[in-house]
Copies of this chain bind each other. A is one copy, B any other.
Amino acid sequence: MTDADPTAREGAAQTMQDVASSLGVSVSTVSLALRGNPVVSEATRARVQAEALRLGYVYNRSAANLRTKRRHLVGFVVPDVANPFVAESALGLQAAMSEGSQFVVLANTHEDLAVQTGIIRELAEERAAGLVLIPAIGTGPDELDALRATQMPAVIMNRHLPGDRFPYVGADDEAVVDIACDHLFGVHASRTVAYFGGIDDAVPHVLRRARFSSNVRAAGLVEAMEWGVPTRPNSDSAYEVASRLIAEGTRPPEAVVCHSDMIAIGVLKALNDAGIPPAECRVVGIDGIRLASMTTPGLTTVSVHAPSLGRLAGELLLHGTGDDETVRSLVPQLVVRESCGCRT
């Protein structure tokens, strides 16, 4: 492809200086030409570009950035990349950033605060343009202070921390719960209901549970408290907890809304194992990950559009709104499949 001069090549990386002297012009000219600055003549630009190509020159963006103090990478700091919701968000974030020709650096905290702190420090040393953070469980004022101290723009995602003063991107928790409840309580007229899974005192969990309970009261239904239990944010934990409940003889409620699709997938598996059909226990997930269409029964879910959330976070980071504390979210959408008892 690049038809590089092998003799010029072996001397390792070429610099602007190299192409300048090879052409008998100054580095300024090369720099200007390569950037396409109209101040250099078309003819010169062409010569410079040809020579750069011939020498196999490749622009050193880091050097340029050191000079201009521009940054070119953002971090996506998450508890678990292999969580589909996170991966789908990463997709959106990455798309947004690549439009600003920024890179997104992926970092896993594994829900470990020390790891998270270390990663944030490293991003600061890297002079990242900012970061999107899904806080590890237990993230509190100390961690947030440390983050603020780095002076990097940051947006918090998915797990809203009370009073953190950082821009936040996440689902509209109450709308999400309302949509799930409307379908389950209204369309399906379930009587005993529960909100299943999620991390115990994480804000979204608290918010959603509270909303759920108030919806239940408003509808005059009964909340199956034994099934209103927290789990870790993955299918395995959900499966384990739900299976145990069933094995212990705790009768599943007529309807359960799950804190996430991954949790719902675990619940569905437990229900399938026990031979309990949607008609007996209707389940609705939250998130709308791609996988939700592949379960049996198909998972009815309230989609919050993970890729869009990621994209939103990226845009917030790049173009920054003046004020902190902004909550942005898309309007959630019910995706009906079979797990709620529709279409069976």
CB-based contact B87/A108 at 8 Å: no
Whether A124 touches B94, Cβ cut-off 8 Å, given contacts A63-B66, A296-B269, is: no
CB neighbors of B among A151-176 (8 A): 151
Tell me whether B62 and A66 are in contact (CB under 8 A).
yes
How many identical chains are in the complex? 2
Interface contact B91-A87, CB-CB below 8 Å: no
Residue of B nearest to A98 (CB): B107
Q: Which listed residue (B60, B149, B266) contacts A125, Cβ 8 A? A: B60
In chain A between 234 and 256, which residues have their CB closer than 8 angstroms to a CB of chain B? 235-236, 239
Q: Which of A287-301 contact B (CB under 8 A)?
A: 290-291, 293-296
Residue of B2, B56, B108, B149 near A95 (CB, 8 A) is: B108
User: Nearest 4 CB-CB pairs, A to B?
Assistant: A272-B296, A61-B125, A82-B87, A87-B87
Q: Which applies to chain A's interface (DSSP): helix, strand, loop or mixed?
A: helix
Chain B residues whose C-beta falls within 8 Å of the C-beta of A193 in the assembled complex: none
CB distance from A147 to the nearest CB of B (A): 9
Do residues B81 and A90 form an inter-chain contact, with CB atoms below 8 A?
A: yes
> Which parts of A38-70 form the interface with B (CB within 8 Å)?
56, 58-63, 65-66
A206 touches B (CB below 8 Å)? no
In angstroms, Cα B265 to Cα A1, docked, is 41
A213 at the interface (CB under 8 A from B): no
Contact yes or no, A145 B1, CB < 8 A: yes
* A82 in contact with B91 given A62-B127, A105-B104, A106-B106 (CB within 8 Å): yes
Give A142 to B3 CA distance when docked, in angstroms.
12
Instruction: Type the 1/0 row for A1-16, where 1 means its CB is closer than 8 Å to any CB of B.
Output: 1101000000001000
Q: A139 in the interface, Cβ–Cβ < 8 Å?
A: no
Given contacts A62-B65, A103-B126, A107-B94, contact A149 B2 (CB under 8 A): yes
Q: Which B residues touch A265, using CB under 8 A?
A: 291, 294
Chain B residues positioned under 8 Å from A98 (CB to CB): 107
